[in-house]
Structure 1
């Protein structure tokens, strides 16, 4: 069964069920999530969940496919969109539920989580093996594969440890506020070695502009405009 990518899919009943399942699997795991709980979260009947997804395993596979597609697509767009607050806002809305899902899936042993990890290692290794943009230093290592795997593990480890990070930072790192704080810290760590100063500066400016619009006075008074796809259909 092929799961349509999020860019082409409106919020149909099937998509609402999948999105609810992402949340339920992230919170309760594969064993703890139930069709009834997913149906209640999606606002549909248990029968409709069973109609679209014959079993919990089939629903889990649909969530895995969606998560994998989302991570791959956003990763391919990230460098081009790093200076665009609109891209950051859209990426936050789509990415955060998937990251929460994958954090649990990495612990539970989901095949999709394994594929995401392998993909990120391959992509990182290919990036370092290519002609790097001006201002970005090549890693000082004799084992680029291990270097790439360690870097991905360090980054993904923040997802798995989100409960602890959220506790010490005082904000949920799977919310826009918490995610921005963590991303800003990550940029501070890597910008001297893995990012050009220009790219890091663009990313920080983008986060400040997004933060001002999303959490500033206009947002608190409800005077912001909703972007495309913000309203559930």
Structure 2
């Protein structure tokens, strides 16, 4: 790896562990095995280094997503994904909690990427989502996926294994795959839920009092 790549990978780790404020050039340089001066040579400021990490994280997600369907049955692809993906996921978990403008751009980009994936011709073996609102569908899907990274401490405690390790990640991935493979609602129940929401939106649902208001209050 080049010195620049080693610095970037060390920064991913330091930002994930300490956040933007807690990470320092000195700590990143020590983790990368280089001098502080070399870090400053490649990245003039901590913000510039953070932006490079954001760009790398997004590029990694895009590349792995593009290869995921073809590699879904390949253990070699899974090993590669684990090696590359886990540091990025840990970094994104902290970045999104920090709530920086850069993290917001990362989330928005993931939503846009997911939406484009569903509106373009889908690869063999992937079903089109049954939705009329692809944007909301994509945003909800990204939020659920990213939410697991943000809540990794709670998930790790519940499962008894760190979800940012290969063992914990595999267990979580297996569960997520099974969720995607299952149909938890019958078509009839899903249709009833959609119909209720449409009726609510139309206003023709016969509710006499706003939510949270006790109908007996006016009567009294």
Give TM-score, length-normalised by structure 1.
Answer: 0.72
2: distance between equivalents of 1:136 and 1:64?
28
Off by >6 Å, runs of 4+ in structure 1: none
Give the C-alpha shift of residue 56 in structure 1: 1.0
Q: Whose Rg is larger?
A: 2
Q: 2:176 aligns with which of 175, 181, 186?
A: 186
- Note if contact 1:67-1:112 (Cα within 8 Å) is conserved in structure 2: no
Q: 2:89 aligns with which of 96, 99, 103?
A: 99
Which protein has greater RCO, CA pairs closer than 8 Å, 6+ apart?
A: 1
Q: 1:141 aligns with which of 105, 109, 131?
A: 131
2: distance between equivalents of 1:175 and 1:122?
28
1: distance between equivalents of 2:124 and 2:25?
51
Q: Could you list the runs of 5+ residues in structure 1 that have no partner in the other structure?
A: 1-10, 194-233
Q: Could you list the runs of 5+ residues in structure 2 that have no partner in the other structure?
A: 184-220
In structure 1, the residue matched to 2:149 is 159
RMSD: 2.1
Give TM-score, length-normalised by structure 2.
Answer: 0.76
Give the C-alpha shift of residue 137 in structure 1: 4.7
Residues 11-58 of structure 1: CA distance to partner in whole angstroms, max 9, x if unpaired? 111111111110000000000001111111111121221222121111
2: distance between equivalents of 1:156 and 1:62?
20
Give the C-alpha shift of residue 110 in structure 1: 4.1
SS of 2:69's equivalent in the other structure is helix
In structure 2, the residue matched to 1:67 is 57
